Amino acid sequence: MCFGVEMDEETVEKMDEVMKTVLITLDPRIDDYLPILSPFFSKQRKQALQVRKHQIDYIVPFIEKRREALLNPGSDRSAMSFSYLDTLFDLKVEGRKSAPSNSELVTLCSEFLNGGTDTTATALEWGIAQLIENPDIQSKLLDEIKSTVGDRKVDETDIEKLKYLQAVVKELLRRHPPTYFSLTHAATEEAATLGGYDIPTDANLEIYLPGIGDDPKIWSDPEKFDPDRFYLGKEDGDITGVKGVKMMPFGVGRRICPGLGMATVHVHLMLARMVQEFEWSAYPANSKVDFSGKLEFTVVMKNALKATIKPRDSG
């Protein structure tokens, strides 16, 4: 989907390993916020440059393979008709005539892969945790799947019809955004004031995402996991920010996460199938789920989720 070239399982696992190494290397450090301390982190900077070189060396061949397939149609029978990478080759970079360099393409593709896969796995763990803690919501979701889809497996085309599923996922992203902070942006306009604070030009800006999703001035009973707030139309929340910023799990505007589409489709589909095939409950029985989180590029559960899984009665 990203590169438009066929990959065997070993290659996919290697790609995943490269991406995870990059994410770990990108964990925030104090010198990100206090550059004056940078000399004390020379070893970490050197390691980061080595990781970046390995990332470029590994991914560029896939970019070149796709470029060759587009220049010579039919030369690669396994090539897909379209990929995310295709949209980047002719991208116009503001302020220059040339297309993005290979290193820039590596960065853009990595953002797409990390935004659409790492966040998906994290969201699913939080989602199942909430369904375990709220069995009535799990039952209501299963009832919708049965009445809408029947006995066959849920597929991507069903998502639009599963309105309660959409509400569950939207509430999941409100309560558990993929990360604590938005990606860093620079203040490009002249000095401004925000909330009584002076924002100088070129200052790095980050938005604390849970502060929006948990704000009682924006949401009623924000601590409660309640898909009905969306399903029954009591409240509205556009995850893209087009209709107003009440939640922004993937950022907003021109620089919204490019993996949003893939991530949300995967979360909807996989959560539906997991509920369709299995009944999820606490392990040990009657124990409470620990919703403490920790930051590992994405916000993951501090203590890995433990669950009792029982296959649904196919009869």
111-153 pLDDT per residue, tens: 777 765 667 888 999 999 999 999 999 999 999 999 999 989 9
Q: Is 106 inside any structural domain?
A: no
Determine contact, residues 290/176, Cβ cutoff 8 Å.
no
Q: Is 257 annotated as a binding residue?
A: yes
**E-assigned strand segments in 192-237:** 192-194, 197-199, 204-205
Q: Is residue 299 one of the residues assigned to a domain?
A: yes
145/230 same-domain check: yes
**Residue 171 and residue 264 in one domain:** yes
Task: Write out pLDDT tens, residues 192-231.
Answer: 888 888 888 888 888 888 888 899 999 999 999 999 999 9
Q: Examine residue 136 and state whether it is found in any structural domain, yes or no.
A: yes
Sign of the Cα torsion 310, 311, 314, 315 reads negative
CB-based contact 145:301 (threshold 8 Å)? no
The answer to whether residues 96 and 131 belong to one domain is no
Domain match, 271 and 145 both? yes
Our separate counts of H helices and E strands in the chain read 11, 8
Question: Residue 294: beta bridge partners?
Answer: 300
Among 63-67, 79-83, 117-121, 225-229, the range scoring the smallest mean pLDDT is 117-121
Q: What is the pLDDT of residue 184?
A: 76
Instruction: Assign 314 a pLDDT band (cuts: 50, 70, 90).
Output: low
- 9 with 81, same domain: the answer is yes
Among 100, 125, 143, give the residue marking a domain's end.
100
Task: Output the pLDDT for position 21.
Answer: 86
Exposed / middle / buried, residue 191 (Cβ in 10 Å: 0-12, 13-18, 19+)? exposed
pLDDT at 69 exceeding the cut of 80: yes
276 and 233 inside one domain: yes
Residue 298 belongs to what H/E stretch?
strand 298-301
Domain of 31, in residue numbers: 1-100
Q: Quick one: 19 and 163 in the same domain?
A: no
- 187 occurs within a structural domain: no
The verdict on residue 271 lying in a domain is yes
* pLDDT mean over 245-269: 77
145 or 34, which is more confident?
145
- The answer to whether residue 8 sits within a structural domain is yes
Tell me: do 160 and 243 sit in the same domain. Answer: yes
For residues 14 and 161, membership in a common domain is answered with no
Answer for the pair 218, 246: CB distance below 8 angstroms, yes or no: yes
Residues 6+ apart with CB under 8 A from 105: 63, 85, 88, 89
**Same-domain status, 24 and 76:** yes
Give the number of residues written for the chain: 315
Instruction: Tell whether 93 and 127 lie within a shared domain.
Output: no
Average pLDDT over residues 164-183: 90
In a domain, 253, yes or no: yes
Do 132 and 279 share a domain, yes or no? yes
CATH number for the domain harbouring residue 307: 1.10.630.10
Whether 161 maps to a domain, the answer reads yes
Residue 295 has pLDDT above 90, yes or no: no
Count the domains in the chain. Answer: 2
Q: Which of 46, 71, 100 is where one domain is finished? A: 100
pLDDT for residue 200: 86
For position 181, what pLDDT does the model report? 82
Domain boundary among 71, 100, 129: 100
